[in-house]
Amino acid sequence: MRAAVVAALGGEPASAEFAWMSWAGTVWRLSGSREEIFVKRAAELAGERDRLAWLAGRWPVPELLAFIQAAGDDWLLTRAVAGVPMYDPSVGWPPARVAQALGEVLQELHAADGRDCPFGVRKPGNVLVHGDYALPNVLVHEGMFSALVDVGRAGLGNPEVDLAAGIWTLQYNYGRGHARAFLDAYGWPPMSDEAIEKLRRKYAR
Ligand X SMILES: Nc1ncnc2c1ncn2[C@@H]1O[C@H](COP(=O)(O)OP(=O)(O)OP(=O)(O)O)[C@@H](O)[C@H]1O
Residues 6 or more apart whose Cβ sits within 8 Å of residue 84: 90, 91, 139, 140, 141
Regarding 60 and contact with ligand X (CB under 6 A), the answer is no
Pick between residue 164 and residue 183 the one whose CB is nearest to ligand X. Answer: 164
Binding map of ligand X across residues 93-112, x = CB under 6 A, - = no contact: --------------------
Contacts for 205 with CB less than 8 Å, ≥ 6 apart: 168
Element containing residue 29 per DSSP (H, E): strand 25-31
Longest dimension (CA), the chain: 56
- Contact status: 78 vs Mg ion (CB under 5 A): no
Spatial separation of the C-alpha atoms in residues 123 and 154, rounded to whole Å: 15
Q: Smallest distance from the beta carbon of 72 to Mg ion, in angstroms?
A: 22
* Binding track, positions 135-164, relative to Mg ion; x by CB under 5 A: -xx------------x--------------
Q: Any contact of residue 47 with ligand X (CB under 6 A)?
A: no
25 binds ligand X (CB under 6 A): yes
Q: How far apart are CA 167 and CA 193, in angstroms?
A: 12
CB nearer to Mg ion: pick between 145 and 188: 145
38 near ligand X, rule: CB under 6 A: yes
Candidate residues 64, 87, 117, 137; the one interacting with ligand X per rule CB under 6 A: 137
Distance of closest approach, residue 175 Cβ to ligand X, in angstroms: 21
- 127 with 156: CB under 8 angstroms? yes
Establish if 22 lies at the interface with ligand X (CB under 6 A). yes
The span from the CA of 160 to the CA of 199, in Å, is 8
Which is closer to ligand X, CB of 19 or CB of 156? 19
Binding site partner of 62, from Mg ion, ligand X, none, Cβ cut-off 5-8 A by kind: ligand X
Tell me the CA distances in angstroms from 119 to 18, 52, 60, 76, 81, one per residue in order.
31, 12, 18, 19, 24
Contacts to ligand X by CB under 6 A: 19-20, 22, 24-25, 27, 38, 40, 62, 78, 80-81, 85, 132, 136-137, 149-150, 152
